[in-house]
Amino acid sequence: MRLLCCLLACWLVSAAVYSEERVHSYSLLVDAEPGQGFCWPYFLYVPPQCAEGVDKVFPLLVVPNNTGKVDDDGNVHLQKTGKDLAGWRRLADELGCVLVSPAFPRPAKQWELYTHALDRDTLLRGSGDLNRLDLQMLATLHNARLRLAAHHIKVRPKSWMMGFSASGMFANRFALLHPEALERVAVGSPGGWPMAPVAKSAGAELAYPVGVSDLINLTGKPLQTEEARQVRFFFFLGDKDENDSVAYDDGYDAKERALVHRLFGLTPLERWPKAEKLYQLAQMNSVFRLYPGIGHEMTLEMRDDVIKFFLTP
């Protein structure tokens, strides 16, 4: 309760969401609703220009959260998501879009579940309130749309999504799991390897999250190829970025690691053009960009290019 009061004191909530009264703008922490399909809270931000546009239809930007560490205290992840929201709010203001950011946990006792990256263990072994976080994300977005509709705020039927590092991995993977839900996706430094939209490379099966060969076994459906080709992707990486989840057991298992090293290289930079080639071969609407002299950080130049990506028709 103290955390909620603190957040609401910092970020003005203008009216109850389900009220028929129109609002000017607001930020809101929405509680989890397991009965509605999502077991974790999320933040919803509506910029002034979105609240005021009665007859306009606005984009809905989704930013997956990334705490950067494991912790069994859900408040740690909630607080970090709230702190990060300040920067994402400014981006939403510039883009003129509604913003949604979930506060998914990343447990320490189940360290192998790299939930913020939507890794294979999360899809296979997540249970209870950690079950199928991709579906929980879909339920979160459905709930947000209902709340916005109650305020007469119209948003596009397909969302935008962006992320950097682990949240970039989440965005990349979620987009290939549920391309029907997304319009544009910006993926920064996705943990050493952008998930490939192909089932095989050089005769080898590319299982999730290296590729999509076994999606039907994990989720009940294969890659929806035509829908995925309609999504616009922007991948970006600094050429000095050595952040590589492929090297760690919470990101990839030994078999996956060996496959990535053998087929695509030992470093994120070495793999980058090979990932780009696979997206080209799969006829994806994608752009890959390298930034000289940049390590594992999102620079102002990158941010400007992300804004151009989302706003360019």
Q: Report d(CA 126, CA 59) in Å as an integer.
A: 31
Q: Report d(CA 113, CA 63) in Å as an integer.
A: 20
Residue 220 forms part of a structural domain: no
Q: Report d(CA 64, CA 83) in Å as an integer.
A: 13
Give me the chain's average pLDDT, please: 91
Domain hosting residue 88, numbered range: 1-157
pLDDT number for residue 13: 37
Which amino acid is present at 171?
Answer: A
pTM score: 0.92
Alpha carbon distance, N-terminus to C-terminus of the chain: 43
The proportion of the chain whose per-residue pLDDT surpasses 70, expressed as a percent, equals 91
**Residue 2 pLDDT grade (very low, low, confident, very high; cuts 50, 70, 90):** very low
Residue 52 forms part of a structural domain: yes
The proportion of the chain whose per-residue pLDDT surpasses 90, expressed as a percent, equals 86
| Number of separate domains in the chain | 1
**Residue 151 pLDDT grade (very low, low, confident, very high; cuts 50, 70, 90):** confident
Residue 223 forms part of a structural domain: no
- Count of all residues that appear for the chain in the document: 313
Residue 151 forms part of a structural domain: yes
pLDDT value at 191 more than 90: yes
**Residue 54 pLDDT grade (very low, low, confident, very high; cuts 50, 70, 90):** low
pLDDT number for residue 53: 57
Residue 241 forms part of a structural domain: no
Residue 136 forms part of a structural domain: yes
pLDDT number for residue 16: 35
Instruction: Count CA atoms closer than 13 A to 52's CA, side-chain side.
Output: 5
Check residues 219 and 25 and name the one with the higher pLDDT: 219
Residue 186 forms part of a structural domain: no
For the residues 155-177, what does the mean pLDDT come to? 98
Q: Report d(CA 73, CA 107) in Å as an integer.
A: 8
